[in-house]
Amino acid sequence: MPDLISGIISVVKLPTPAGLLAVKTLRFSDARIRIMGSALCLCLVIPASVNVIMTSYQQSTAALSMAPPDTLILQSPDGNPVPKDLPRSMQAATGIKRAVKVDMLSGEITSNHHSGTARAVMVVSSPEDAERVLNMKLTTKERANLNNSFMLSFSDGPAKTILALDDGRRAAIPSSRVEVNPTWAYTYGGVIVKGTLERIRAQSTPHQWVYTGVQKGDIAKAVDYVHRQGLDPQLLTYHVEPEPPQMPFSWWMVCLTLVIIAAGITASVSASFGHTARNQSRQLLAIGLPKRLGATIPILESMLLVGLCSVIASALAVVPVVVGQSLSESFTLWVPKDWVILWCTGLGLLIVLSPLAGLRAIRARERTVDALI
């Protein structure tokens, strides 16, 4: 982190005379800037990173147990097929458009031919139905692959996937990778069309009815319909934004302590900039530079350093989640909007108020810049 701070400062350029002198002073005070800047970054990044990790983990975990956004799934909680007339009657009562019938292959993907955790295979009637369920636009090649007995795999795997069928046979089918919502990748390992099912002489069982493009009002109508019919409410699965995690009081105290330390570091650094600028004021005035320049330099120095540390801390706060996402497809970055607003507001105030200690140092009555004229 110290090298990162020094490296960025070494390439920063401000066009004004005050900006040039501010950057030069920061580079001259490299050792102090490296230490204080790193400490400030750590005080900011620790609470931010932990909060991002906790909220992202909660969102990712909740998303796997729900349907993707704008999707309603009708599925029997005990694994048995839903009554045949239920999807049609619910559509008529709620006005939701036609559902896509999703079957499950009577078999599974062999573990040595698949990098994901899901082994089940989704079976749909056509590439169009696959697009609706997965809420994505397939390329011409992907649509052709589905029609040519390919499996669109939801995780990395070889060019051919081995399926272990329930009747004891094994079937090899070509496969290609597609990126889908983590919810589907958590449930299914891939998707094929019924034409492929017939070619490999396999069977499937009814699994889900998937309604796409639904609104909150549609979901409310469906829930009300199931309730009025006296049916199990677990028949319906839909997306609900989880509440932000409840942080323990002790953690908020840790965050407050770190914020106070960060404010103290900022004040200390800013004051040191003010003292340096005060000592340089005589030279600046002697060469004919404006007297206001002496006060402008520490302001720019403080705002530049604190702003730089704020950007670094914001970037580092999401690094653990980005790394986790690269290791697990079901782990996604998610932060509540109000937390983002609070974070940006806090950093903005810290940047704006950071020069105050420096101005106080440079404007001591007996050492004011004006007194040197």
Ordered by start, the domain boundaries in the chain are 2-64+247-372, 71-238
> How close are the terminal C-alpha atoms of the chain, in Å?
42
47-63 mean pLDDT: 77
Residue 81 pLDDT exceeds 80? no
239-247 mean pLDDT: 71
Compute the distance between CA of residue 78 and CA of residue 371 in angstroms, rounded to an integer. 85
- The whole-number pLDDT of residue 366 equals 40
Between 238 and 302, where is the model more confident? 238
DSSP letters for 54-118:
HHHHHHHHHHHTSPPTTEEEE--TTSSPPPTTHHHHHHHHH-PPPPEEEEEESEEE-GGG-SSS-
Query: Helix, strand, coil shares of the chain as percentages rounded to 5?
Result: 60, 15, 30
**DSSP 8-state secondary structure symbol assigned to residue 169:** -
Angle at 90 between CA 84 and CA 92, to 5 degrees: 110
**Tens digits of per-residue pLDDT, 108-120?**
888 665 555 678 8
Compute the distance between CA of residue 342 and CA of residue 50 in angstroms, rounded to an integer. 15
Compute the distance between CA of residue 49 and CA of residue 314 in angstroms, rounded to an integer. 8
Residue 371 pLDDT exceeds 60? no
**Tens digits of per-residue pLDDT, 213-239?**
888 888 899 999 888 888 888 888 887
- Could you tell me if 293 and 25 are in contact, meaning their C-beta atoms sit under 8 angstroms apart? no
- The whole-number pLDDT of residue 365 equals 43
347-358 mean pLDDT: 74
Strands 190-193 and 151-153: antiparallel
What residue ranges in 106-177 does DSSP mark as E strands?
A: 107-109, 121-124, 151-153, 160-165, 170-177
Residue 130 pLDDT exceeds 90? yes
Q: What integer best gives the mean pLDDT of the chain? A: 79
The token duo for 289 is 């530079």
- The whole-number pLDDT of residue 193 equals 92
Looking at the DSSP bridge assignments, the partners of residue 211 are: 72
**Tens digits of per-residue pLDDT, 196-213?**
988 999 999 888 899 988
- The whole-number pLDDT of residue 368 equals 43
Compute the distance between CA of residue 197 and CA of residue 106 in angstroms, rounded to an integer. 10
Compute the distance between CA of residue 222 and CA of residue 206 in angstroms, rounded to an integer. 20
C-alpha of 94 from chain center: 34
Between 143 and 321, where is the model more confident? 143
The token duo for 19 is 């900006």
The token duo for 318 is 């999401």
Q: What is the amino acid identity at position 199?
A: R
235-264 mean pLDDT: 80
Between 372 and 254, where is the model more confident? 254
Residue 44 pLDDT exceeds 60? yes
In this structure, is the dihedral angle defined by the CA atoms of residues 114, 115, 120 and 125, taken in order, positive or negative?
negative
